[in-house]
Structure formats: structure tokens, C-alpha cells
């Protein structure tokens, strides 16, 4: 017959192994790769050389994908992309989200958080650069860089963003491991004191 201390230890070991096997893993899965969009725009002036804001985006399509975006349709197979208007001079961000769409049951979006460069040389073109946050369902929000270009000729724009540094885990997994180890040590000491 087993002694009560062996039974308790056996149950603790079974519980610990069960927690390890059946608990959801808290691993961060950062977004990799990038995405490119293109479409039409309307500005707050009729001339791109003097514009300070985009007032609407009549249409936007996904034109290129890589990494975590692989599988999203492009061109005529693109999902419907919704883009929000924004002011770039002065920048009135963050814009959350700048764009968003659904594909294969997942939501994809991008928050424009910083504008670091405005190039408006007076030749009917505009280039904006900055940083933002990429979002995909079941992925960790990931910091990324972005470039937005527009031209007056066809009233068209292109936008691309790609991953940067991942948002770090808050340390909750390490804290839970520490609590579990402290608990096991506490039970071990209690059993040792009970035997004495």
C-alpha cells in the first residue's frame, strides 16, 4: 500500500505533466514579411503638390504579399480593403487602423503610428515614410515600417509595409513557471516536515 506522501507526490507529478501537455502555449508569433496595396485617392486640394490630407480612398487592392501574408489574394483576387483618410501635414496620428481587410477568416490591419518623412518635391508626386503596427488574427502585433507614394498623373497611390521588431512578451510565462516551481518546493518541504 502506498503511503499518503507518495500518493500526493504522484498526483502532483500527474498534475504538472497534464498542465504541461494540455495548457495553451503563450509563445509569441510575430508577423513576418510584408504587404503592398495600391488604389485611388482624393486629397483636400486638386493638386498633389499642395495637398496636406487624403480625404478618401475610393478603392484599394492588395498587390503583393510575402511571409505571414502568403495566401492573401492579390490583384483581381484581392479582398476588399478599407482605407481610412488621414492628414499628413501636420500628421494627426495615430490612424487606427489605416487599412483593414478580411481573408480566410482572419482580420488583417495596419495602424499608422508615426510619420518620419514627407517628400513633396513639387513634381506631382508625394512620398511618406514612417512606422506602425501590423495586426493579423492569431499573431503577435508587430512593429513595422511603411512607405506610401502617390502620383498626380493617375490619382493613384501605392503603400507597402513590412515587419520590424516584434512586440516582446510581457513575461507572464516566466512568472507562471516561477510560481509553479515555488509551489512544488513548498509541497516538498511540507512533506519532509510531515515525515519528521
| DSSP, residue by residue, 12-69 | HHHHHHHHHHHSPP----B--SEEEEEEE-EESSS-TTT--EEEE-S-EEEEEE-GGG
The CA distance from 169 to 62, in Å, is 30
pLDDT tens for 13-43 read: 555 444 444 444 445 799 999 999 999 999 9
Q: Is 163 helix (H, G, I), strand (E, B) or coil?
A: strand
Q: Average the pLDDT over 44-66 and give the result.
A: 95
The CA distance from 75 to 63, in Å, is 5
Q: Average the pLDDT over 77-105 and give the result.
A: 95
This prediction's pTM: 0.70
* pLDDT for res 80: 94
DSSP, residue by residue, 59-99: -EEEEEE-GGGTTS--GGGPPPPEE--EEBTTB---EEEEE
pLDDT at 187 over 80: no
Q: Is 157 helix (H, G, I), strand (E, B) or coil?
A: strand
To the nearest 10°, the Cα dihedral for 48, 65, 79, 39?
A: 10
The closest of 166, 111, 156, 157 to 133, measured between CA atoms, is 111
pLDDT tens for 153-184 read: 878 999 999 986 433 444 444 444 444 444 45
Q: How many CB atoms lie within 10 A of CB 7?
A: 11
* pLDDT for res 173: 43
Looking at residue 195, the DSSP 8-state letter turns out to be: H
Length, in residues, of the chain: 196
Look at 170 and 125; give whichever has higher pLDDT.
125
- The answer to whether 73 and 100 are in contact (CB under 8 A) is no
The CA distance from 134 to 140, in Å, is 9
Q: Average the pLDDT over 89-108 and give the result.
A: 95
% of the chain at pLDDT higher than 90: 65
Average pLDDT, the chain: 81
* pLDDT for res 190: 55
How does strand 60-65 pair with strand 82-83?
Answer: unpaired
Amino acid at each position: 500500500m502506498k503511503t499518503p506522501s507518495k500518493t500526493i507526490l504522484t498526483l502532483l507529478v500527474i498534475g504538472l505533466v497534464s498542465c504541461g501537455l494540455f495548457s495553451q502555449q503563450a509563445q509569441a508569433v510575430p508577423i513576418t514579411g510584408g504587404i503592398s496595396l495600391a488604389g485611388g485617392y482624393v486629397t483636400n486640394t486638386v493638386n498633389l503638390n499642395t495637398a496636406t490630407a487624403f480625404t478618401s480612398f475610393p478603392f484599394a487592392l492588395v498587390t503583393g504579399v510575402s511571409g505571414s501574408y502568403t495566401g492573401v489574394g492579390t490583384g483581381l483576387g484581392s479582398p476588399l480593403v478599407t482605407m481610412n483618410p488621414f492628414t499628413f501635414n501636420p500628421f494627426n496620428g495615430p490612424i487606427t487602423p489605416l487599412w483593414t481587410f478580411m481573408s480566410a477568416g482572419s482580420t488583417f490591419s495596419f495602424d499608422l503610428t508615426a510619420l518620419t518623412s514627407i517628400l513633396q518635391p513639387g513634381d506631382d508626386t508625394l512620398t511618406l515614410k514612417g512606422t506602425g503596427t501590423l495586426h493579423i488574427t492569431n499573431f503577435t502585433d508587430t512593429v513595422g515600417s511603411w512607405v506610401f507614394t502617390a502620383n498626380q498623373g493617375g490619382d493613384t497611390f501605392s503603400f507597402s509595409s513590412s515587419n520590424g521588431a516584434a512586440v516582446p512578451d510581457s513575461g507572464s510565462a516566466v512568472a507562471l513557471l516561477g510560481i509553479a516551481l515555488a509551489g512544488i518546493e513548498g509541497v516538498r518541504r511540507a512533506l519532509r516536515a510531515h515525515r519528521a
